[in-house]
């Protein structure tokens, strides 16, 4: 198996009144075929911004100043006024935004959401065909087809999140970027969602996942590799076990000690300073395992 996605030299800047915010600062990252790549880091480190650029949904005030994306040997320029083919969004890369399960319209049945998603890509698809595809996908993944007749409030949080995840991959994207998909769920529902994502990969519904979360224990069970972001840059990247058990970058070490049982070695690392800009963390060289 080879590389599925190769994102290079990505620079994303929010043009805001007053000053520009460089949210993603020259990031290059690869996603291997069949893997879940965890994207970790504290709030504000640039995870969502990077995810939205790779999913080709960046829009003002966010501007992609530089970057290329290669998928299946096709190279897409991202910077400046590059034209993004409409056919890529949702079908080649798809993003499941944070909180998607709570932003679906409460007055529409799930079937309407399915139809809207399918029609946005295949304008001529019939309602029946769209629903057939969704029904088949739901049952393949162990959900009852009657979910389609439900209104969002009739589904539990876990079920709703699994449903929007399935809908976001109806077009069989090569890559799914899931932004904090487990953050609003209880531990049991988190586990079920992660198992479903892995099953979807196994069934080749998509071929790779970027799993964005600030929740490191979740990534421990879900991710093959973890990339850690800090201040718009990737500071450490490697196999999950290594990044979790033997992190080398001082920021990763501080992040780990803040969520896991304190290791004697990091016991003196101050966590309070993490959210603010810390020159010593910023200057430490990135570690790629
Ligand atoms: N719409 C916006 N306008 C200006 N700055 C933004 C906007 N969205 C995000 N940012 C800034 O970009 C940086 C990265 O944010 P984000 O990608 O959301 O981080 P994360 O997902 O890791 O929490 C932060 O400094 C944030 O304040
Ligand atoms: Mg975010």
Whether the per-residue pLDDT at 95 is higher than 90: the answer is yes
Lowest mean pLDDT among 6-10, 118-122, 180-184: 118-122
Crossing angle of helices 110-121 and 127-140, in 10° steps, is: 110
Q: What is the CATH number of the domain that holds 189?
A: 3.40.50.300
Nearest C-alpha to atom 27 of ligand 1 is from which residue?
44
pLDDT given at position 271: 47
Average pLDDT of the segment spanning 196-223: 96
In a domain? residue 113: no
67 located within any domain:
yes
d(C-alpha 287, C-alpha 289), whole Å: 6
pLDDT tens digits for range 62-78 = 999 999 999 988 999 99
Strands, DSSP E only, in the chain?
3-15, 20-32, 36-40, 62-71, 74-77, 93-96, 175-179, 208-212, 225-230, 233-239, 287-288
**How confident is the model over 227-243, as a mean pLDDT?**
97
Instruction: Please give all residues whose beta carbon lies within 6 A of any atom in ligand 1, as ranges.
Output: 14, 16, 21, 23, 41, 43-49, 61
- Ion ligand 2, residues whose Cβ is below 5 A away: 48
* 127-140 vs 157-168: helix crossing angle, rounded to 10: 120
The pLDDT > 90 percentage for the chain reads 78
Q: Given this model, what pLDDT does residue 260 score?
A: 54
Nearest ligand to the CA atom of 62: 1
Give the pLDDT of residue 257.
Answer: 82
Q: What is the DSSP letter of 126?
A: -
pLDDT, tens digit, 9 for 90 and up, residues 185-197: 999 999 999 999 9
Q: What is the DSSP letter of 146?
A: G
Pocket-testing residue among 20, 44, 54, 97, ligand 1, by greatest number of atoms within 8 A of Cβ: 44
Q: Indicate whether 153 belongs to any domain.
A: no
239 occurs within a structural domain = yes
Copy the structure tokens of residue 125: 């698809």
Query: What is the residue with the minimal CA distance to atom 12 of ligand 1?
Result: 23
Domain hosting residue 242, numbered range = 3-103+172-288
What is the pTM for the complete model shown?
0.93
For position 273, what pLDDT does the model report? 46
Q: Which of 101-105, 106-110, 192-196 has the lowest mean pLDDT?
A: 101-105
Q: Is the pLDDT of residue 35 over 80?
A: yes
What's the Cα-to-Cα distance from 160 to each of 57, 103, 157, 193, rounded to whole Å? 23, 11, 5, 10
- Residue nearest (by alpha carbon) to ligand 1 atom 6: 14
Of ligand 1's atoms, which has the minimum distance to the CA of residue 42?
Answer: 22
CA of 100 to the centre of ligand 2 (A): 13
Question: What's the average model confidence in pLDDT over 131-160?
Answer: 97
Q: Which atom of ligand 1 is nearest to the CA of 24?
A: 14
User: Is a pLDDT exceeding 60 seen at residue 269?
Assistant: no
Classify residue 146: in a domain, yes or no: no
Give the number of C-alpha atoms closer than 13 A to the C-alpha of residue 223, restricted to the C-beta side.
30
Number of structural domains in the chain = 1
Percentage of residues of the chain with pLDDT beyond 70 = 93
Burial of 228 (0-12, 13-18, 19+ CB in 10 A): buried
pLDDT of residue 87: 85
Q: Does a structural domain hold residue 16?
A: yes
192-211 average pLDDT score: 98
Any domain includes 147: no
């Amino acid at each position: 198996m080879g590389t599925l996605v190769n994102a290079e030299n990505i620079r994303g800047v929010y043009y805001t009144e007053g000053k520009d915010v460089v949210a993603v600062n020259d990031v290059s990252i690869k996603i291997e075929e069949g893997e879940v790549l965890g994207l970790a880091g504290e709030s504000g480190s640039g995870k969502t911004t990077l995810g939205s650029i790779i999913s080709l949904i960046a829009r003002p005030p966010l501007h992609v100043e530089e970057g290329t994306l290669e998928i299946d040997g096709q190279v897409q320029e991202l910077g400046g006024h590059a034209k993004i083919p409409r056919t890529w969004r949702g079908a080649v890369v798809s993003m499941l935004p944070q909180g998607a399960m709570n932003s679906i319209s409460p007055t529409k049945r799930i079937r309407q959401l399915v139809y809207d998603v399918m029609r946005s890509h295949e304008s001529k698809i019939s309602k029946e065909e769209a629903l057939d595809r969704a029904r088949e996908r739901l049952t393949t993944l162990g959900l009852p087809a009657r979910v389609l007749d439900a209104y969002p409030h009739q589904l539990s949080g876990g079920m709703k999140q699994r449903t929007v995840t399935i809908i976001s991959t109806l077009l069989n994207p090569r890559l799914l970027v899931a932004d904090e998909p487990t953050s609003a769920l209880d531990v049991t529902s988190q586990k079920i969602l992660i198992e479903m994502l892995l099953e979807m990969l196994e069934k080749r519904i998509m071929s790779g996942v970027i799993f964005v979360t600030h929740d490191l224990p979740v990534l421990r069970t879900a991710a093959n590799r973890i990339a850690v972001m800090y201040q718009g840059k990737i500071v450490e990247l490697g196999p999950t076990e290594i990044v979790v058990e033997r992190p080398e970058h001082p920021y990763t070490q501080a992040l780990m000690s803040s969520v896991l049982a304190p290791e004697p070695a990091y016991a003196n690392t101050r966590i309070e300073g993490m959210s603010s800009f810390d020159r010593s963390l910023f200057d430490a060289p990135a570690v790629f395992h």
